[in-house]
Amino acid sequence: MMNPEWWHWAVAGIGLILAELAVPAFVLIWFGLGALLVALALGVVPGLGFTVQLALWLAASLLLTLLWFKLFRPDQMKTRIGRSDANMVGEVGLLSLEVAPFARGEVRFQKPILGSDVWPCIADEAIAAGSRVKVTAVEGSLLKVGKV
């Protein structure tokens, strides 16, 4: 069996990186970079066996993929849609459903916040639908609002 040369790995690596343009999952690029690393290794240490080349490519590709998803983008795998955040305090919205001290209401924001423009809310006082309110606190997935 013939051992691939360094340029075979370089062409395969560039091909995988270009394939990432057609499949935007941001995974193929790491396998392409792994192939380019094997091409570089063959340039430095010529004569590596096919099994070593394949193992090096697999190890480099998996390591780059894990580094990307674990170190550089640790929070990208979590969705924040439907969850409130303390950054919402101070936002002003319009009540679409009235709110009372022991009843939930609904507040609508002009622009979506964390993926949603309508949020369930509570208040310490009764506020009529159509009133402008300001977020004063976040309690779990509910927003606590007060009159503006």
Give me the percent of the chain exceeding a pLDDT of 70. 89
Query: In the predicted model, what is the mean pLDDT of the chain?
Result: 87
Residue ranges per domain, the chain?
6-72, 86-147
Instruction: Tell me the sheet residues that pair with 134.
Output: 92, 146
The CATH fold assigned to 86-147 is: OB fold (Dihydrolipoamide Acetyltransferase, E2P) (2.40.50)
pLDDT computed for residue 86 by the predictor: 57
Express each pLDDT in 35-87 by its tens digit.
999 999 999 999 899 999 999 999 999 999 988 888 766 555 455 444 545 57
Question: Cα–Cα distance between 32 and 12 in angstroms, integer?
Answer: 7
3 compared with 38, residue with greater pLDDT: 38
Express each pLDDT in 120-130 by its tens digit.
999 999 999 99
